[in-house]
């Protein structure tokens, strides 16, 4: 069920709107903007219905704060108001509202407008997912990785946490392609993506295709010992997994990977670019030392 946050200081209106929606949606009522901001910290609603006229903080002020927070800026907001003048509506739209519903509520109108905007939300999510997914391997792409890295980097600085990064490269991949063909090479990359993704256990960890035959793994709240254990686990899992032959899936081909690892407890003086360079340098060292191994940047 889609999640809707309903904000109105009038308990009659709050109850009425909740009763209209609760059979179709998961509704989170809030009797004030302050309570709304408490709720939204723990849930990520799909849609927000926000009363305009509230004491302490108006709906306009609440939405302005909301739109300045990157975590919640893209959640659509529909204003609830008794105002019907053009100036009020224009102000709301300029602040980022997607629609207005006037009081008193008409049940069919409320449901229709909510359904329309939730459809748009789903369509946007599908488009976003496509744009952030590597089409060959079906794991996150470089764009998604960069976005998540920026978020985790900020969080690590804020909370004083370590962050681990792993760059992974398929060994002798050009030779593999030349000997077995590009279609088989694609199968190898798909197999590597599956093995790497399944080798990381925590929900906060994720793997992405960096480009070509290279992958990246981000491990939040992870230091040298943790990233070393994960790297060796990935290396072993790849080594013992056969890439199915395109012409005969019952047959398999072997491939290995080299891994460059780095961890840091970042500060404002550090940069993501330098951190990535350290992991890249470690990857180069792993290759120089014979491949099919990981190396931790020192």
| Residue numbers annotated as active site | 213
Q: What angle do CA 221, 225, 229 make, to 5 degrees?
A: 100
Q: State both tokens at 15.
A: 């109850």
| Nearest by Cα to 30 from 55, 53, 5, 2 | 5
* Phi, psi of 224, rounded to the nearest 5 degrees: -60, -45
Distance of CA 20 to the CA centre of its chain: 32
* Tokens 């900020």 sit on residue: 154
The CA distance from 195 to 137, in Å, is 11
Distance of CA 6 to the CA centre of its chain: 25
Q: State both tokens at 159.
A: 């909370």
List of residues 6+ apart from 22 with CB closer than 8 A: none
| Nearest by Cα to 166 from 57, 252, 282 | 282
Where b means 16+ CB within 10 Å and e means fewer, 257-273 reads bbbbbbbbebeeeeebe
The CA distance from 261 to 140, in Å, is 19
């Amino acid at each position: 069920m889609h999640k809707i946050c309903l904000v109105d200081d009038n308990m009659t209106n709050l109850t009425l709107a909740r009763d209209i929606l609760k059979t179709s949606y998961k509704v989170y009522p809030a009797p004030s903007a302050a309570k709304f901001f408490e709720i939204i910290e723990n849930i990520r609603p799909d849609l927000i219905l926000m009363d305009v006229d509230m004491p302490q903080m108006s709906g306009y002020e609440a939405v302005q704060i909301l739109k300045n927070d990157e975590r919640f800026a893209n959640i659509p907001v529909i204003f609830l108001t008794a105002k019907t003048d053009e100036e009020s509506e224009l102000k709301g739209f300029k602040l980022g509202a997607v629609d207005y519903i006037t009081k008193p509520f008409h049940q069919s109108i409320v449901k229709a407008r909510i359904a329309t905007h939730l459809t748009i939300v789903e369509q946007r999510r599908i488009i976003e997912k496509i744009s952030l997914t590597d089409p060959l391997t079906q794991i996150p792409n470089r764009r998604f990785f960069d976005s998540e890295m920026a978020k985790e980097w900020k969080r690590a600085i804020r909370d004083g946490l370590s962050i681990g990064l792993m760059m992974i490269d398929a060994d002798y991949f050009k030779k593999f392609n030349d000997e077995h063909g590009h279609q088989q090479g694609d199968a190898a990359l798909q197999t590597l993506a599956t093995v790497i993704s399944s080798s990381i256990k925590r929900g906060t960890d994720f793997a992405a295709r960096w480009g070509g035959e290279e992958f990246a793994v981000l491990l939040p709240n992870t230091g040298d010992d943790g990233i070393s254990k994960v790297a060796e686990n990935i290396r072993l899992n790849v080594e013992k997994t056969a890439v199915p032959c395109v012409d005969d899936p019952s047959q398999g081909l072997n491939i290995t990977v080299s891994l460059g690892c780095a961890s840091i407890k970042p500060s404002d003086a550090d940069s993501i670019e330098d951190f990535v360079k350290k992991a890249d340098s470690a990857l180069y060292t792993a290759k120089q030392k014979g491949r099919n191994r990981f190396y931790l940047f020192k």
